[in-house]
Amino acid sequence: MESSPDSMTSLTPSINSIREIINEIHEKHRTLNDGSLADYIPELTRANPEWFGIAVTTVDGRQYLVGETAIDFTIQSVSKPFIYGLALDSLGLEEVRKRIDVEPSGEAFNSISLKPSTGQPRNPMINAGAIAATGMIRAPDVETRFRIIMDRFSEFAGEALSIDDSVYRSESETGWRNRGIANLLRNFNIIEGDVDPILEAYFMQCAILVNSRNLSVMGATLANGGINPITGKRVLSPSTVEKVISVMSTCGMYDYSGNWAFEVGIPAKSGVGGGIIGVLPGQLSVAVFSPLLDENFNSVRGIATFRDLSNSLGLHLFNRPSLTDYVIRRSYTLNQFQSSRFRPRKAQEILQREGHRIRVFELQGDLYFGALERLIHAYLRTINENDRVLIDLTRIGGIDEATRTIIFKFARQAFEKGKRIVLVDPKQIFSAGERRSLIPMAFVYNDCDEALEDAEENLLAQYGARMEASVSYGLERMDLLRELGEAELKGLSELVRKRSFEEGQTIIEKGGEPNEVFFLAQGIVGVVLRKENTMAFKQVSSFSPGMSFGELGLLLNEPRTADVVAITEVTVFSLNRDQIERYRQLHPEGYRKILLNALHSMSERLLRANREVAALK
């Protein structure tokens, strides 16, 4: 068994259950000796009938390699889906379709299967269609044509491929049937200009050397929507990939295509060199190489292997479990879970009371039609209770064009009903242009906390309880000083120190002595954790005027656990340990009330934390 540099190095083969299954299948079919080597191209009879390799490449670029996956063989007809892709990219769908149909022929690969009226080859997976596709690559001569093909094939494989000259010559010397087909195509003007250079390029393209490992990378590039998963380079456009895989699924196995779809259910293509690739969109590609062929010119062990793999790994395309069941990861309203901003009691009470009007849908997985339909259904069930709905796309993987368009429509309809859709889109699924065009129907935020905070501000504004940036709170409005009598407040005001901080200034430093408590009079402060040795930081919570901070550390007498930073210009009243002690002596009753308030606020925070944990479960 071989392993490639980028295969699963962290898992030893013996504990990798997937590799073990592939191993077992390889072991099972190793002794299958039915079939014969293709001999109509004389050079192909040099193949060793024992060769047998299975290579799997996932769309993440992981590989499972079993058997002779490094033995080179000629790609032959496995080149057909790729050359069809290149023709589509070069001439466009309409032009190519005019010349090559997409109907299964139900005949052998080398049948003269042209539509009588137009001369169109039945499909691009038989020789007639493939020769036509080769003719559609724009090039002045054989060398250029073949160089373009070779370069693009190498991009599919993620490495420089080469040609088996003797197989090429062998086929060129004996390929009379293909010459006949090409001349007929010329007769119908399906190909233009000189027939011979096109035919030679076709023979060369069939003689490109691959092994099952790099063939599986070529297939994985199709499975991955046209981006090579190893190099990260786009080789084909997604719309072309869709068409290529479609014809593979209906025509890829010649007159075995129907049985193949029935039993294996993976779009595939075989070649007389003994290779078969299967492409499972969004998941992986399998390439099997074994040169003994059946009467349809498909690899015998290849078919047996695919049948077992499809079964054991559950790869049949039409036996898909619903991938959309879990699109809504969780759903909650603002009274159950809030932003990380701590707000004074009065604001907090409003959010508790009115928060049910803001709903959050946290999504996960891929957002395709089935998933979006579920979301819209869930949305409509609660629409009467909500003013604003946050759709959190943080954990969304893929989304297609159709779904995007439906989201736009959905946002517009909600807006027309007086509702508001807010998208949380940190991965920039929606481009800057799309975001602009969504306004005012929907807003897009990069961060869920920010979107929650904005929803809170909006709700508080409706109740006149919005924090005014310009207003300064006196000590009498501090949550922690509630119930203090006039004299008690006055006593405190004589001890506190009023201080200002500029935006960005650090008020409390992590690791510092816990010697002060702060009452926030104006502005916003953020509690931030900095990543060591970097400038990066994460804001874990923030405070509005009326709140105090620093009292926890002070009570516990623990070094500061995070930085507290002025997010805006900030004014605070601060009180240090000595001043607190003095206050305790002068106003024992006031001091007792402060402690009770602190206890109260901590209990409330704990309740809120419990509620939020429950909402997130």
List residues near ligand GLN by CB under 6 A: 76-77, 109-110, 127, 171, 178, 206, 271-272, 297
Sequence-ordered list of residues with C-beta below 8 angstroms from that of 532, at least 6 positions apart, any chain: none
**Considering the complex, what minimum distance in angstroms separates the CB of residue 226 from ligand GLN?**
24
Q: Cβ(6)–Cβ(214) under 8 Å?
A: no
Q: Which is nearer to ligand GLN, 206 or 566 (CB)?
A: 206
Q: Which is nearer to ligand GLN, 84 or 543 (CB)?
A: 84
**Considering the complex, what minimum distance in angstroms separates the CB of residue 242 from ligand GLN?**
24
**Considering the complex, what minimum distance in angstroms separates the CB of residue 271 from ligand GLN?**
4
**Considering the complex, what minimum distance in angstroms separates the CB of residue 225 from ligand GLN?**
26
Instruction: Name the residue among 604, 583, 525 with its Cα closest to residue 352.
Output: 604
Instruction: Name the residue among 546, 43, 12, 47 with its Cα closest to residue 274.
Output: 47
Place of tokens 């849908």: 361
Cα distances from 580 to residues 29, 241, 453, 584, in angstroms, run 83, 72, 33, 6
Residue 440: is the preceding peptide bond cis (ω within 30°)? yes
Q: Which is nearer to ligand GLN, 111 or 178 (CB)?
A: 178
Q: Which is nearer to ligand GLN, 176 or 318 (CB)?
A: 176
Is beta strand 388-399 parallel, antiparallel or unpaired with respect to 358-367? parallel
Q: Which is nearer to ligand GLN, 305 or 403 (CB)?
A: 305
Q: Which is nearer to ligand GLN, 297 or 445 (CB)?
A: 297
**Considering the complex, what minimum distance in angstroms separates the CB of residue 216 from ligand GLN?**
18
**Considering the complex, what minimum distance in angstroms separates the CB of residue 288 from ligand GLN?**
14
Taking CA 250 as the corner, what is the angle to CA 244 and CA 254, rounded to the nearest 5 degrees?
105
Cα distances from 73 to residues 76, 80, 178, 212, in angstroms, run 9, 16, 21, 9
**Considering the complex, what minimum distance in angstroms separates the CB of residue 366 from ligand GLN?**
35
**Considering the complex, what minimum distance in angstroms separates the CB of residue 113 from ligand GLN?**
13
Sequence-ordered list of residues with C-beta below 8 angstroms from that of 401, at least 6 positions apart, any chain: none
**Considering the complex, what minimum distance in angstroms separates the CB of residue 435 from ligand GLN?**
49
CA 361 to mean position of chain CA atoms = 19
**Considering the complex, what minimum distance in angstroms separates the CB of residue 41 from ligand GLN?**
7
Q: Which is nearer to ligand GLN, 216 or 548 (CB)?
A: 216
Closest residue to ligand GLN, based on beta-carbon distance: 77
**Considering the complex, what minimum distance in angstroms separates the CB of residue 289 from ligand GLN?**
13
**Considering the complex, what minimum distance in angstroms separates the CB of residue 253 from ligand GLN?**
10
Give the span between the Cα atoms of 561 and 548, in whole angstroms: 16
Q: Which is nearer to ligand GLN, 272 or 287 (CB)?
A: 272
Structure tokens at 186: 């010329």
Is beta strand 537-543 parallel, antiparallel or unpaired with respect to 341-342? parallel
Structure tokens at 390: 């946050």
Q: Which is nearer to ligand GLN, 43 or 89 (CB)?
A: 43
Q: Which is nearer to ligand GLN, 178 or 548 (CB)?
A: 178
Amino acid at 119: G
Judged by DSSP in three states, 471 sits in coil
Q: Cβ(511)–Cβ(444) under 8 Å?
A: no
Q: Which is nearer to ligand GLN, 4 or 74 (CB)?
A: 74
Sequence-ordered list of residues with C-beta below 8 angstroms from that of 395, at least 6 positions apart, any chain: 329, 362, 363, 364, 365
Instruction: Outline where DSSP puts E strands in 502-584.
Output: 506-508, 516-522, 525-530, 537-543, 548-549, 563-566, 570-576
Place of tokens 């929907």: 442
223, with CB counted inside 10 A (0-12, 13-18, 19+), is buried
**Considering the complex, what minimum distance in angstroms separates the CB of residue 205 from ligand GLN?**
8
Taking CA 252 as the corner, what is the angle to CA 140 and CA 129, rounded to the nearest 5 degrees?
30
Give the span between the Cα atoms of 271 and 46, in whole angstroms: 16
Q: Which is nearer to ligand GLN, 178 or 290 (CB)?
A: 178
b/e for 95-118, b at 16 or more Cβ within 10 A? ebeebbbbebbeeebbbebbeeee
Q: Which is nearer to ligand GLN, 22 or 268 (CB)?
A: 268
